[in-house]
A and B are shown apart, each in its own frame.
Chain A
Amino acid sequence: MKQAVKIITKKDFLTLVNTLLQNKTYDVVGVKAKGKRYVFDTLNDADELSLDYDVTILPPKKYFLPQYEQLMKFSLEKPFEVKETIDDQPRIIIGVHPYDIIALQQTDTQYLDPPKDDFYKKRRDNTIIIGVDIQNVSERSFAGSMKTHMTETGFDLLLTDLGATYAVTVGTEKGSTLLKKYATTKDATSAEIKKIKDVRDNIAKKYTKKVKVDKKDWSSILVANYANSFWEERSDFCMECSSCTIVCPTCFCYDVHDEVSLNLKNGQRIRTWDGCMLRGFTKVGSGEVFREEPKERYRHRFYRKGNYLPERFGFVACVGCGRCGIACLPDIADPCDVMNELASFGHEEDTGRFFIKQKTDAAEKGIIHIPRSATIKRAEVRSEIDTLFEIELDDKKPLGHAAGQFVEVSVFGYGEAPFGVSSPPSDTPSFEIMVRKVGNVTSKLVSMKPGDKVGIRGPLGNGFDVKALEGKNIIFTSGGTGMVPMRSLINYVLDKKNRGKFKEITILYGAKRPKEILFMSDVDQWKKVEHVQCELTVDKCDANECWGGCIGVITTLFPKVRMDKFDSQNTIVVVIGPPVMYKFVIQCLRTMGIPEENIIVSLERRMKCGVGKCGHCQINGVYVCKEGPVFNYKEIKALPEAFE
């Protein structure tokens, strides 16, 4: 597309900025000096602009995803009163460098990918970007070799310094209108247009720091070096401060928490920046941390940039700004240094992928922030730590879930937590979840009574493909709370309407101790159904507990499966349990001759947003909340983080 190019004198440009400032329609933001560094900040006068800056401390992402962002306000006194708080302040950002513009386009891809983030979208729509071609190169930047030192798109207007004037490339209608309304310009001559190219070519030459690996090769180099001791050696020097992700224009993972007023009358749900270098990033309610070793966290950041996002969206999520290199005290964060060093190890071509393309309509329909109002209909204490809830959506519409999907349950003031739905799919507006008391949300939930209100987002994720189970023998294998989503599937399969579609059914269930067995009444029912073998085991049993059954871990049940009765090739095994369980169960299944593609697993990670945005639940390149939690073992086993 041919873009219009206008010429404006520098003086007239400053007048334009001052006119915008006086006009007060927009929050006018520009690059200003802060000591020896630069920042994006609200302008008071056009003279404050420093358009010849090298790099700002933080990228402009703070205007689209603020460090601290109120998503909604809620009342703690009224049953369910919540109000979205979308920021609709029109804003103009002056002086965005091309690499930051490209980073914003990448953020768009993530945040506008269905389901889109309305908060982000609103800010993006309300903001006019006036970019500027780079005049001074930051010492740590390697944008030249990343080809991100210039851009043809992503801005409304783009300034190029031609000495006494700026050439203004008009990128959008919005930019064109702004220019026409507030400034006097003339059309650029062909000589002036050529000068823009010269300016860009000159700046490319000024980069002394260069990444030697072409962007298209980052992915394969990283795959080849996954097990390299390099990650451990480097991460020994990591301060675990996440400075690298905070200053990064393409790091956009977030956390959400509730804050309450001191008088406990109301509160707000807040989104803040999170960082994958922090240990708490992958920590789930039960206390498990999925990336426990600093090496795993350190490695994750580079793979997200160079492999996971490229596999997902087709771009390397590094724009070469060099901010992380400046911010990292031990200087181990710079992707340019890391890629150059990895390249020196040499590597073989494509050795595998850390991504699975698996996304359904269901996963794209999730509500992203504001939950639906729902009422607790029934609360049954099932053990010292488990309570079964029946919840009804107040709009009386069915949840519409498939077995294996989950919901995010909100208790305002306490936060939000994911729960597998334990009731089978149904047309009624109510559904069941089992709540085990482990964290703040669950501790509050178990104290709640029928009539109390909760918020529901969902159903989220991909459930089981029940069609694929038809005509097969099925072995359900669950450990601990893995029985919660499993019960939904079992009750669907054993439902009189559906039972005829499936062949031999085997149910294997292991709990830590007898009192932790969930759904005992269901288990009793299952045992009575014809052609169903149901076996239970507990890890241990105290002397005072009554238990006549098997003692031992879940794998002790496999020898009891009457495999002679059916053919392993026509058998599907569904496995859901604690992370530690999978490895051992899958070993058993191998010896039983079950083909890998016949093993279906559902995995647990920290599912915070539930819609593939916040980044917490990632298993390598896969968002468990969006691509999972149900996976085919044969596909997911290629991901080193899946069963580590």
Chain B
Amino acid sequence: MKQKPRVAVFDFADCEGCELEIANLEEEILDLIEIVDIVSFREVMKEHSDTYDIAIVEGSIMRPMDERRLRSIRSKAKILVALGACATIGGVNKIRNQWMPDEVLHEVYGNADVKGNELFDVFKTKALKEVVPVDYYIHGCPIDRDEFKHVITALVLGKKPEIPTYPVCVECKKNENICQFELGKFCLGPITRAGCKAICPTHNSTCEGCRGLIKKAEADCVKEVLERYKLSYEDIRRRCTMYNYGREECSVDE
């Protein structure tokens, strides 16, 4: 049998919830380790190796020291996969990009003396692809376990993973949900990448855009919908702050 690909899981600024989703595969982890060798995964094991084929990286990049570490991971990995919204689009960590790093430090740490300590040497939050090339993306906050399995099996089989480039509405409508707009709520589903099986609207919660936007908030169709539902451009910008702050540019190729 061909040698199994060696997989390492890393994390940066995040809640580790997406890694937890992998750990939550539970008995299916036995299937996972049948097809790959997990050589590093701090959240679930103490062993570590610097020799790996696929790096799965969670979290956002906040500091020069993060950048150095990510570049080192990239140099060792044949394939780099961004795991979860913090890694794929910056996610909630980008909320703080509304302010200057100094202001943020002051807000959190007050007058504590953090100067010269590299742990506190922060710049504006970056998604992984703003630092190194990313090969594949597993979107979401948290990720969808089935999509994780799809990406891993695809990579082991040598396939290009198929990640939807259409909006959440497609999956939401297939689930036969009542549209959140019809319920008088403001949902980002129409401009957010699908792949989550429309989990939030299916559980009667609006989409918050965690899988990234696939249409610009300035697009004519978005303006039209906002107008119809008596919403303003400000409303949509505010809603996009949670996961998509500063992301005017949208790309379906991620």
A203 at the interface (CB under 8 A from B): no
Binds B, one of A29-37, A373-381, A426-434, A579-587: A29-37
> In the bound complex, what is the Cα–Cα distance between A447 and B159 (angstroms)?
12
Q: Mark interface residues in A411-451 (1 if CB within 8 Å of B CB, else 0).
A: 00110000000000000000000000001100110010000
Q: Is the CB of A440 within 8 A of B160?
A: yes
Q: Which residue of B lies closest to A329 (CB)?
A: B225
- CB neighbours (8 Å) of A264 from chain B are 34-35, 153, 156-157
Tell me, yes or no, whether B206 is within 8 Å of chain A by CB: no
Interface size class on chain A is 35 or more
Cβ–Cβ contact A241 & B167, under 8 A? yes
Say which residue of B159, B167, B183 sits within 8 Å of A240 (CB atoms): B167
Q: Please indicate the chain A residues that have their CB under 8 angstroms from the CB of B32 in the complex.
A: 262
Interface residues of B in 165-184 (CB under 8 A from A): 165-167, 169-170, 173-174, 176-179, 181-183
Instruction: Give the interface residue-count category, chain B.
Output: 35 or more
Number of interchain pairs (Cβ within 8 Å): 107
Contact status B159-A444, CB under 8 Å: yes
Which chain A positions have C-beta within 8 A of B149? 262
| A243-B158 contact given A39-B176, A58-B176, CB 8 Å threshold | no
Q: Among residues 196 to 224 in chain B, which have CB atoms less than 8 Å away from a CB atom of chain A?
A: 215, 220-222, 224
Q: Majority SS of interface residues in chain B?
A: helix
**Interface bits A11-44 vs B (CB < 8 Å: 1, else 0):** 0000000000000000000000011110100000
Stretch at the interface among A273-281, A453-461, A496-504: A273-281
Task: State the CA gap A105–B159 with chains docked (Å).
Answer: 39
Bound Cα distance A58, B150 (Å): 28
Stretch at the interface among A231-239, A528-536, A539-547: A231-239
Which positions 1-60 of chain B face chain A at CB distance < 8 Å? 25, 28, 31-32, 34-35
Q: A37, A68, A443: which contacts B178 (Cβ < 8 A)?
A: A37
Contact of B224 among A36, A237, A275 (CB under 8 A): A237
Interfacial residues of chain A within 232-260, with CB under 8 A of chain B in the complex: 236-243, 246-247, 257, 259-260
Assess whether B31 is in contact with A261, with CB atoms less than 8 Å apart. yes
In this assembly, does B185 line the interface, its C-beta being within 8 Å of a C-beta of chain A?
no
Q: Are B221 and A239 interface neighbours, CB within 8 A?
A: yes
Q: Which residues of B contact A62 (CB under 8 A)?
A: 176
Q: Is A240 a contact of B173 with CB atoms below 8 Å?
A: no
**Residue of A236, A239, A280, A444 with most chain B CB atoms under a 10 A cut-off:** A239
> Which chain A residues lie closer than 8 Å to B25 at the CB level?
262
Say whether A329 contacts B167, CB under 8 Å: no
28 CB < 8 A contacts A-B: A34-B176, A36-B178, A37-B178, A58-B173, A236-B220, A237-B224, A239-B169, A239-B222, A240-B215, A240-B221, A241-B166, A241-B169, A242-B166, A243-B170, A261-B31, A261-B153, A262-B25, A262-B35, A262-B153, A264-B153, A278-B166, A329-B228, A330-B221, A330-B225, A330-B228, A414-B157, A440-B159, A444-B157
A237-B220, A241-B173 given. 17 additional CB < 8 A pairs? Answer: A34-B176, A35-B178, A236-B221, A237-B221, A246-B170, A247-B173, A262-B32, A263-B35, A278-B170, A329-B181, A329-B225, A329-B229, A330-B224, A331-B228, A414-B159, A440-B159, A444-B157
